[in-house]
Amino acid sequence: MVELSFTINEMLSKNLELIIPQLEELTRSLFPEILKIYQNPRSNAQEKKDGSPVTAADMYAHKVIVKFLKKHFPDIPVVSEESFKQKNYKPAEEFWIIDPIDGTKEFVNKSDEFTTNIALIQNGKPILGVVGAPAFDRVWSGVANQTTQKKKADAKKRTILRIVSSRSHRTVIDTAFLNFLDKKRKRLKIISKGSSLKICALADKKADIYPRFGPTSEWDIAAADAVLRSRGGGIFQIENHKPLEYGKKDSILNPMFIAISNLNEKKAILSLIGGFSKNLL
């Protein structure tokens, strides 16, 4: 792996994209061992104190990613799902946030839909993100303030609204939202996916929206959020329509949100979900 010889401040002043190839290489280097564990019939998930599952793949990816980031960016804190403690959490203005394996349930259930996630947060915003999908040999990356796809002056009127839905965490509210859209005479296509692949589907323009009414943590979303922002999309809080914020002092959990593939459609989609959510908030 190429050695990095610049500090984070130098990186930011020059070009954030300087770090992308190294993080992509790091991400791909995780794939063989993760897949080895994934394909081992004897590998089992353990239960953490909060009741969520954790596997040897989670811990392997956690150790490798944290070691890399601490070596090359020793002055930047690393927040990881596998070592996080809310009571000791003092968010910095700038920090890495990682989810070594997002979609552990998908990992355990052998659905292939699990990801590795690395994001850099600055002043509450995800400015860089890398998402890896070992089972699909795929990596997504992006710098949030450098959109790679040109925006069109007017959004095309859609005849079908493509909605990404959680494969493992669909709720009663999700069903109610679909019923609400049906009453609005919206033609729908439901796309079920696990982990941060839901947001990556928006980045790939394979879906239009991803509403999330259930709980998620910052590390679940940050990397894919940065990728989505880099491709002309965004994620917004349902309550106030503001972008998701990271590094909150009171809780690592995200509020309810709506992810949108194309910001040209932001106004119409936020208006639509506002009509539904006014009875929830």
Binding positions for Mg(2+) are 81, 99, 101-102, 220
Q: Pairing state of beta strands 125-133 and 115-122? A: antiparallel
Print the SS3 string covering 125-177. Answer: EEEEEEEEEHHHCEEEEEECCCCCCCCCCCCCCCCCEEEEEECCCCCHHHHHH
Binding site listing for substrate:
81, 101-104, 220
State the Cα torsion 104-108-109-115 to the nearest 10°. Answer: 40
d(CA 94, CA 78): 10
d(CA 102, CA 104): 6
Binding site listing:
81, 99, 101-104, 220
Cα angle, residue 50 at apex, residues 120 and 211 outer, rounded to 5°:
55
Count of alpha carbons within 13 Å of 107, Cβ hemisphere only?
A: 29
